[in-house]
Amino acid sequence: MGKKLLLAGGGHAHMTILAHMRDLVREGHEVTVVQPSDFHYYSGMGPGMLGTTYTPDEIRFATRQVVESMGGTFVRDKVTHIDAKQRQVTLASGSTLEYDVLSCNAGSFIPFDNIHGDTSNIFTVKPIERLQEAQRAVISLCAARTKPHVAVVGGGPAALEIAGNVRKLAKLRGRHAPRITLFAGRQLLGRFPEKIQTMARDSLTLQDITINEDGYVDEIRNGVIIQNGKHHHPDMVFVATGVHPSRLFADSGLPTGVTGGLLVNEWLQSVQHPEIFGGGDCIDFEPKALDKVGVYAVRENPVLLRNVRAALNGTRLQRFDPGGSYLLLFNMGDDTAIFSKGPLMFRNWLGFLLKDYIDRRFMRHFQALER
């Protein structure tokens, strides 16, 4: 007898399950996907979309279309609570869904709670859809003001890429050049090797982007950044601080790890509820802490498919091996990218071409399912 498979989110870690959904349906299983949008946007290309390198259509996957064409059920909603004992989820709309097997790719969010007052010109880098609105706002601002000030809050790769791509957008579509300040906390790219930090600083300097390392941003109020008693008055703010897993699991009373993500074992199962699986930014991997980078979601894809199918059909699970070092590519907005893989590090146009090729190939592979 077929079982009920529920996917909470249709992001990177679920792409291979979505690609094989027709097989699961043919095996007699009922597959339901719950996602707040009909589309899933690839975050790795988000800054490039902001800088006009990509159109929104080029960086998104038509989740609803694919799910329904393969015989699954798509629900445009958001899972807000998991009742593991009853094997039931509650949605934002108030409705409930039952499952036999649940797989979670609930994503992450920007945990900056000290934003107050008028937020019309404050943009977090997640969800990626907001960057479309931010793009229009930057163009409008650069048309209306002779020297607008754009602030980017964050000292990691996301903030770096946003700052460079705001500069690119302003050059291509803006009437006036903005002043751009990157508020990087105490140290830009502090967890990365000094060579990568130096390459990032060189790129930002060449693009006339100011790096502020006076301290962490404490509060954003009415467009004013309050930082160690110092006030700054930008016209627009991007918040690109580090991501945290969805609060869904902690709020549901499920075991979570050090970052608050669903705590999973080597089979990507909840350590307490073996019928619940997870992947991507929303999990904490119990055997070994994993960075919140997209490469792990991609590596988890085939294992999640194998293990979700095994849980449905009563077959053997496969262990997830996170693998060794991974490739990092940062889109600097100036048609260069920082490349890092093990000891090899450089920044040039070849790095950008490589990132562009990898990202476009990834999207083409899964967008082919839409046809």
User: Model confidence over 181-190: pLDDT tens digits?
Assistant: 999 999 999 9
Could you tell me which residue, 146 or 93, shows the higher pLDDT? 93
Which of 107-121, 150-164, 187-201 has the lowest average pLDDT? 107-121
Indicate the class that CATH gives domain 4-36+77-109+243-324: alpha beta
Q: 115-241+328-360: what fold?
A: FAD/NAD(P)-binding domain (3.50.50)
CA distance 188 to 65: 41
The tokens for 248 are 């869904």
> Please, are residues 222 and 230 in contact by the beta-carbon 8 Å criterion?
no
Reduced DSSP (H G I as helix, E B as strand, rest coil) percent helix, strand, coil of the chain, to 5: 35, 25, 40
Mean pLDDT along residues 273-302 = 93
Percent with pLDDT over 90 in the chain? 80
pLDDT at 224 over 80: no
pLDDT greater at residue 195 or residue 107: 195
3 band by pLDDT with thresholds 50, 70 and 90:
very high
Q: What angle is formed at CA 43 by the lines to CA 37 and CA 45, rounded to 5 degrees?
A: 120
Residues 6+ apart with CB under 8 A from 349: 335, 336
Number of Cβ atoms within 10 Å of the Cβ of 80:
16
Place of tokens 């163009």: 139
What is the per-residue pLDDT for 98?
Answer: 98
pLDDT above 80 for 111: no
Rounded distance, CA 346 to CA 304, Å?
34
pLDDT of residue 120: 85
Domain ranges of the chain: 4-36+77-109+243-324, 115-241+328-360
Give 157's contacts (C-beta < 8 A, 6+ positions apart).
189, 328, 330
With 90 as the cut, is the pLDDT of residue 218 above it?
Answer: no
CB burial of residue 342 (10 Å; 0-12, 13-18, 19+): exposed
The pLDDT of 207-226, averaged and rounded, is 87
Please determine whether the domains at 4-36+77-109+243-324 and 115-241+328-360 fall in the same fold group of CATH.
Answer: yes
pLDDT at 188: 96
d(CA 188, CA 206): 16
Interatomic CA distance for residues 336 and 321, integer angstroms = 32
Instruction: Give me the chain's average pLDDT, please.
Output: 93
**CA–CA distance, 254 with 125 (Å, rounded to integer):** 27
pLDDT band at 112 (very low <50, low <70, confident <90, very high): low
pLDDT at 63 over 90: yes
Over range 301-310, report the average pLDDT. Answer: 96
Query: Three-class SS of residue 189?
Result: coil
Structure tokens given for 244: 């945290």
Question: How much is the average pLDDT of 63-72?
Answer: 96
- Model pTM score: 0.93
Q: With bands split at pLDDT 50, 70 and 90, how would you rate the model's confidence at 81?
A: very high
Whether residue 222 is predicted with pLDDT greater than 80 in this model: the reply is no
36: DSSP letter: S
Confidence of residue 118 (pLDDT cuts 50, 70, 90): confident
